[in-house]
Homo-oligomer: A and B are copies of this chain.
Amino acid sequence: MMFEKHSAEGGGPVNVCGVPFGGGGLVIIAGPCTVESREQLLESASAVKEAGADILRGGAFKPRASPYAFQGLCSEGLALLAEARELTGLPVVTEVLDTRDVAEVAAVADMLQVGSRNMHNTALLKAVGTSGKPVLLKRGMSATLQEYLYAAEYVLNAGAKDMVLCERGIRTFETVTRFTLDLSAVPLLQERTWLPVLVDPSHATGRAALVPAMARAAVACGADGLMMEVHAHPDRALCDGEQSLTPEIFFKTVGELRAVAQALGRSI
Taking Cβ atoms with an 8 Å cutoff, the residues of A that contact B are: 63-68, 97-101, 117-118, 120-124, 126, 141-142, 144-147, 150, 153-154, 157-158, 170-177, 180-184, 186-188, 191, 204-205, 209-210, 213-214, 216-222, 256, 259-260, 262-264
Contacts and interface: CB of A to CB of B under 8 A. Distances in A.
6 contacts: A66-B150, A100-B123, A171-B173, A172-B182, A216-B220, A260-B263
Contact of A262 (B146, B182, B263): B263
A76 to B, nearest CB: 18
Contacts of A176: 144-146, 188
A171 B171 CA distance: 9
By secondary structure, the A interface counts as helix
Contact of A183 (B97, B124, B214): B214
B188 A180 contact: no
B214 A66 contact: no
A171 B144 CA distance: 10
Contacts of A187: 209-210, 213-214
Nearest to A147: B65
A185 to B, nearest CB: 8
A210 B184 contact: yes
Nearest to A201: B184
Contacts of A118: 120-121
Nearest to A219: B220
Contact of A213 (B64, B117, B222): B222
Contacts of A65: 146-147, 150
Contact of A172 (B147, B150, B173): B173
